[in-house]
Amino acid sequence: MTATLCALALLPALALAQATQQPPKEEGEFRAPDLVEIVKLDKSIRLQIRYATSNNFVGRPVYKEARAFLQRPAAEALVSAHRALKKHGYGLLVFDGYRPWRVTKLFWEITPEDRKQFVADPSKGSRHNRGCAVDLTLYDLRTKREVEMPSGYDDFTERAHVNYAGGTGEQRRLRDLLRSAMEATGFKVYEPEWWHYDYKDWRQYPIQDVPFEEIKPTRPAKNRPAL
């Protein structure tokens, strides 16, 4: 984290108190939200929810619980990518999924103007807020360790770009392997951040501001095939 962001992270608040403001109002029809907990679909997907710790660019926890959710179709597509990667000796390690709108607003408020491309504008909402974006990397199935990519997570430099030509050949190979697996199941990478993927149907879901602890479990549709 840069010195500027460290200093901002120490400011007493901007805190989630500002989250009393409401998400933007949207027109049109949307699918009914069906947020599911990723690990409930496949326990071998690992979590490292940085925003539930102080190990993030804010410098303090912004989630009360270390959990990750996605809209059901996106979650099922993620599981498909994870299982395809197992053939190569890797699995998915998730940093973040659905993100309440109030957290997006906090990120925007504390991020300097020259770094705004790395955070979503709360006046428009985030694809994370819709439950259709996921931040993730790979882990080695044999060692259970996170692999090395050309940059770390939430790196606000050119090293984070999906086409960055630096780093080692192995780091770039793993970055490209992740991209290939994710794009094969309906996700698209956000180019400035190799770890960020948006699900193809994100426009069909509304912006949400529901805290993790208030998300109610749902049952899968009876006619939906098992993964």
Domains and CATH numbers, the chain: 33-214 (3.30.1380.10)
β-bridge partners, 136: 94
How high is the pLDDT of residue 138?
98
Tell me, yes or no, if 193 is annotated catalytic: yes
Catalytic residue among 146, 193, 213, 214: 193
CA atoms of 92 and 46, how far apart (whole Å):
6
pTM (predicted TM-score): 0.85
How high is the pLDDT of residue 16?
42
**Which residues of the chain have a pLDDT value below 70?**
1-20, 219-227
How high is the pLDDT of residue 28?
87
